[in-house]
Structure 1
């Protein structure tokens, strides 16, 4: 079920993706915690060029922009996961994503926004990237970010 580390890193390179370093927590939490074979990654905010992408879906951010933001979060999550385990080849499965989409009360495409992260994880990890998930519309996300996503992974 797993993909070799070389293949994962080759896929990232082919997509011109460079994994970022782990960002320092902005509050009283850890960026990741491992218990047994599960690694829990704290929520990551949507960023572009190191700056939080601020906005609200259904108001001033389109679904496609939100999807791109979720994809960018998936890249950040993979960078944190790499830091947590040292080698993405140790990832046996992406178990679950939870996505918080800063959206207006009438916006209903949170699932499409979250596909930006889900699709990239599937492309990189193959079958091991297929995961359970939740996508919620929320009134606000820290720092006004348009999307926040957390991840749970199983590792060797």
Structure 2
């Protein structure tokens, strides 16, 4: 039994709250306060007994006969024991091809954004605090090498 017609849908005016117009067999036209018209299918989930509302498509994008065909397809899915909302969500969200680990993300970030250091790390060797080997007698001094060096010679 079909209650909706194209003329009724086009003439439907938005109201202060969301309005539903039934077509029959679970197909509804939802009219939002901003004027958006969307075909929806209302059904009861078999596992939990909760009522669900699945948005099919907006009105100008999908005509009434196509919405009725889509509602019939959804009914067939429910008879077969499948959840149309889960399948619609799975179709929209693509599965990742490979699993990404934190280590892989950290290495990718380091390769892209970490600043490359061109100078060697200072004080890497505790004996080489002033850029010289431990056995050198030169003292760096305050201004280069001006301070006299005391030696036993």
TM-score range for the pair, normalised by the shorter chain length: under 0.3
Q: Which has the higher strand share?
A: 1
User: What's the TM-score once normalised by structure 1's chain length?
Assistant: 0.20
Q: Which has the larger radius of gyration?
A: 2
Q: Which has the higher helix share?
A: 1
